[in-house]
Amino acid sequence: MTLFSEFGLAEPILKALASEGYEKPTPIQAQSIPYVLEGRDLCGIAQTGTGKTAAFALPILHRLETNRRPPIRKGCRTLVLSPTRELSGQIADSFRAYGRNLRLSVSVVFGGVNIGKQERELVNGVDVLVATPGRLLDLIDRNSLSLRDVEILVLDEADQMLDLGFIHALKRIVKLLPRERQSLFFSATMPKSISSLADEYLRNNPAKVAVTPVATTAERVEQSVIFVQTNQKSPLLEAVLRDDTIDRVLVFSRTKHGADKIVRYLEKVGISAAAIHGNKSQPQRERALSAFRAGTCRVLVATDIAARGIDVEGVTHVVNYDLPNVPESYVHRIGRTARAGATGVAISFCNDEERAYLKDIEKLTRLKVPVMPLPSDLPAPVPASELRREQPQRGRPAPHARGNQGHGAPRQAEPNAENGPKRRRRRGGQKPNGQKPGGQQTQTQGHKPAQHHGAPRRSEGRGDGAQVAWLDKGPRRG
């Protein structure tokens, strides 16, 4: 199967795909679409970036369209459950884009925003409802939504749902669904806990499809690791970002607090950056994302959960400021530069405590990450005292900052996935170290401009101990 037209999808959907510029199905689409069109249950192992949203959205839209009937009041015909607000929003956008020539209604509901508007949208029922589990249950509890009309259930990013502690919510939701339904189950990984959940929820002779084993994604990304002390991570990041061939970079921090600290540091040294994580309000996240998409802010600092569902074209680099303690997260992170077949660059900073994480990652990807040396002339870190002094000046740019995206924005506590009950422990029972991620600056010398900076340039050698050159970029810009 090489063309969308060969699936027998309705003409208005094919038209929409043509306007999206999709020429042929991705492997997960080629495998999944025929099964979903047949009405079979499906268990798919696929990561974000493989085109899995269209793999379920296209045949669902086709089925809804060819079997048109008005949804019941406060009901929905298709329910898509997703773990985060960003991902939910993107799934809904995809349904709307692919269904733009159909008259089907699509709504999205998630926490952290006013519930009243969502209730009003649901009054007359919708064809497709994309939801995070918590807000969905809130709506059900308020009698604003009924699930008795659901024909198709999609559980997206099931592994992430479990990681975020949504299992009880999920079980409650599934109990409210009609037994007669089609169920589609997608997960990036398939550990035992997920496959038993799939066994429980999928009936109807489920088909199994799998694409892009983790190692394959990792192989597409040019990776390197730099061994560094914790207090050198921020100047190292600064040095990496001085390379203006780096267009759009996603920086990963293990914690929300760490992400904010990184942004503060970058702003302080004149690099425009924004953070996206669960303590940011929805408008703040949207502002950060659109600045990043538009290219007005080339550095987006994110936590794993916030980044999981973000769909941004053209991320050229991923920087792991902290290595994740769950090796699968590393693959998800670096996969952000390898969307829909593109290749990218991933640079990881690894302190002494994180070496064990690196080992786990190399075991999972079955690849040795080439080591790059630290640049010999790292700029001195901005002292912590200076960073702290900046904080209260909300909304005011740092003296030599070029932008103010996300800087100094008020933190808002709100229910969100990252405040969920648990994070997975690394294998072997080893706990994450006590090191504070986020590059706490402990040195006290003043920040002085470095003589020269540069992002690492990969030399030909790959494999362990690959040789790397540092580009001399001359004096600091901005």
Closest CA to 317 of 287, 349, 290, 288: 349
- Three-state SS annotation for 32-63: HHHHHHHCCCEEEECCCCCCHHHHHHHHHHHH
We find the least distance from the C-beta atom of residue 17 to ligand AMP, in angstroms, to be 7
Residue 30 CB, shortest distance to ligand AMP, in Å, is 9
When the beta carbons of 46 and 228 are compared against ligand AMP, the nearer one is: 46
The packing angle between helices 11-20 and 52-66, to 10°, is 150
Is 449 within 8 Å of 287 (Cβ atoms)? no
Q: How far apart are CA 424 and CA 408, in angstroms?
A: 30
Of 186 and 349, CB closest to ligand AMP: 186
We find the least distance from the C-beta atom of residue 355 to ligand AMP, in angstroms, to be: 32
Closest to 371 (Cα-Cα) out of 353, 348, 338, 352: 348
The token pair at 10 is 């309705």
Q: Strand pairing partners for 346?
A: 223, 318
Nearer to ligand AMP, 25 or 370 (CB): 25
d(CA 417, CA 366): 30
**Of 83 and 375, which has the nearer Cβ to ligand AMP?**
83
Instruction: Report the nearest approach of ligand AMP to the CB of residue 28 (Å).
Output: 8
| Cα gap 102→113, rounded to integer Å | 28
186 SS3 class: strand
Q: Are strands 221-227 and 249-252 parallel, antiparallel or unpaired?
A: unpaired
Q: How far is the CB of 311 from ligand AMP (least distance, A)?
A: 5
- Residue closer to ligand AMP by CB (options 22, 292) is 22
Find the shortest distance in angstroms from Cβ 458 to ligand AMP.
Answer: 26
Residues contributing to the site for ligand AMP (CB under 6 A): 22, 25-26, 29, 48-54, 311, 339-340
User: Of 54 and 102, which has the nearer Cβ to ligand AMP?
Assistant: 54
Pair of tokens at residue 267: 């702003």
